[in-house]
Amino acid sequence: MTVQSPTPFPLSPHLDDQVSFDRRELALILSVYGRMVALGEWRDYGLSCLRDRAIFSIFRRTAETPLYRVEKHPRLRLRQGMYAVVGMDGQVLRRGHDLGAVLKVLERKLIRPVGPD
């Protein structure tokens, strides 16, 4: 007779159905986010892990609609790329296979021209 020990925290069967960002992906996103917060451009974010995609929403203020959404669609990885940055109006600003390259569309706001004072 074999005795099975119960798992301390039984996993939900639905956890495998969710898409999420891994640690490396979140580090890239939060790096850009942190710099924009330091500039006073962004103030809040939201993270959604759904069945078919993961979404990192970026807000100027908490009560507004998101300025940008960084989305991960694993089903699109063999086509146009699983990462996308979507604007407030729903327009895809950039899509690709490399998250760092896709996030460059947000980083261009970080580069401000320096002129004579």
pLDDT at position 56: 94
Highest averaged pLDDT of the listed ranges 16-20, 46-50, 77-81: 46-50
Q: CA nearest 106: which of 67, 79, 65? A: 67
pTM of the model: 0.76
pLDDT in tens, 102-116: 999 987 755 555 555
pLDDT of residue 70: 94
The pLDDT of residue 24: 93
Which of 47, 58, 112 is closest to 85 using CA atoms? Answer: 58
pLDDT higher than threshold 90 for residue 83: yes
Which strands, in side-by-side order, build the sheet including 68-72?
44-49, 54-59, 68-72, 83-87, 92-96
